[in-house]
Chains A and B, each alone.
Chain A
Amino acid sequence: MKPSSFEYHAPETVEEAVELLTQFGDNAKILAGGQSLVPMLALRLTAFEHLVDLRRIDGLDGIDRRDGTVRVGAKVTESAVERSAAMAEAASLVTRSTPHIGHFQIRNRGTLCGSIAHADPAAEYPAVAVALGAEMEVVSRRGPRTVSAADFFKGFWTTDIGADELLIAVTFPLWNGRCGFGFQEFARRHGDFAISGAAIGIEADADDRITRCAIALMGMGAIPERARAGESAVLRSKIGEVSAKELGRIAVSELDSVPSDMHGSAAYRKRIGAAMVERAWNEALIEVTNG
């Protein structure tokens, strides 16, 4: 046995789960799919006195269309997301990013909400949530609240979720105009965390002018970063007039906390990041043009 000892709780309702979190605070952690948490426990990168498993709680495993949006419950696995026709229809960027996560055996257990709550800056779903403007539903004994993706990610592996709060669902808004999306990442081997990656959503009007652009970067800082400089550079431009290569350069130009580690220097990551933005832009462009 590699992890340190913990007390195991498997509550049957959200209320009971929240009660446990209120009682144990920072000494407790939610266990959903466990595909990030269990390796960290096994490597003793972290330890908790209490794990609160969601598996016996009903009603958290739905992918539901609501007024065009798509809401994903806390127990929905990445494999379920990958197979969901509702998700492909409402938020294709989520669907497209999913095969990049781990391997199919990992996706059979890992959850979308778990990935977002874990908040690894190199992970796929946090970047996609930031690009699309997803909303996180958290509950505690103090009641429910909604946090926008822009305010959710606070730092490396750190979110706005309080110690007594539980992330019960993530809702992706519908981008319903003339839209195109792109998702590209570079990893050394399939399933590894990305060295760098980009998730892009764009919307154009009937005159081919870009009316909305969101670019989120993976592995380029402590949180999934929006490339604001890149976004404003292309806004109001005509789609055919944007140089993807130039956009890639601008998108990474303002980043000042790009990590340097054994997998690559900050300069290398920026070059890869610029290339991923370029490719994701081209991917999104094809969709807008054909859409």
Chain B
Amino acid sequence: MADVEIAVTVNGELRHASVEPRLTLADFLRERCALTGTHLGCEHGVCGACTVLVDGEAVRSCLMFAVQADATEVTTIEGLVGRDGGLTEVQEAFRQCHGLQCGFCTPGFIVSVTAFVRDHPHSGEKEIREALSGNLCRCTGYQGILKAVRTLCRSDATA
């Protein structure tokens, strides 16, 4: 099957590549861009570990082929960097609230929450829980994660 030429901006860097059509965006990021922060759990859209931003929107990179990402801007966990190269607000909140245990699901959670808090900064408990429902943490460390997102929504509400 014929390879396809794509041009994708990944974390601000334009990358040209020739890819097999069945290569997922997740595999492209991990294997062709060496950005292994995007984790692969289920590879069929359930666990959310592979969540990245495509043109700013949180999506499952395992449910998208790299060819579909042609001419888009992709941001992975490696591209989420705070001022002075430090942690972003979301990352800092996860750290403060112990929102991670083994860390496998963390990139997906951070990327999802980054988009969610940006779009819904004043969310209540129900909205937060619904937003987090698309990411699984097999350590079941949800309480710390919930606390982190609550803190983010609260700090923005009072800002």
CB distance from B79 to the nearest CB of A (A): 17
Interface size in chain A (residues, C-beta < 8 A):
32
Contacting residues, chain B, for A55 (C-beta < 8 A) = 68
CB of A105 within 8 A of CB of B67, answer no
Give the distance in Å from the alpha carbon of A55 to the alpha carbon of B2 in the complex.
19
Contact A109 B134, CB 8 Å, known A1-B22, A7-B2, A7-B21 = no
Closest chain A CB from B48 CB (angstroms): 7
Asked whether A51 is an interface residue with its Cβ less than 8 Å from the other chain, the reply is yes
How far is the CB of A257 from the nearest CB of chain B, in Å? Answer: 27
Decide if A103 touches B48 in the complex (CB within 8 Å): yes
Among B4, B45, B130, the residue within 8 A (CB) of A39 is B45
Contact check: which of A2, A6, A34 meets B1 at CB < 8 Å? A6
A109 engages B1 (CB within 8 Å) = no
Among residues 210 to 244 in chain A, which have CB atoms less than 8 Å away from a CB atom of chain B?
none
**In the complex, per-residue mask of B67-104: 1 if CB is within 8 Å of any chain A CB, else 0:** 11010000000000000000000000000000000000
A41 partner residues in chain B, CB cutoff 8 A? 22
Question: Please, what's the 1-or-0 string for B105-128, where 1 marks a CB less than 8 Å from any CB in chain A?
Answer: 000000010001000000000000
Query: Which residue of the partner chain, among B23, B60, B64, B116, contacts A1 with CB atoms under 8 Å?
Result: B23
- Name 12 interchain pairs, CB-CB below 8 A, sorted by A: A1-B22, A2-B24, A6-B1, A7-B2, A35-B63, A38-B44, A41-B22, A103-B134, A105-B60, A106-B45, A108-B58, A108-B59
| Minimum-distance CB pairs A-B, first 6 | A103-B134, A8-B21, A39-B44, A190-B133, A108-B57, A5-B1
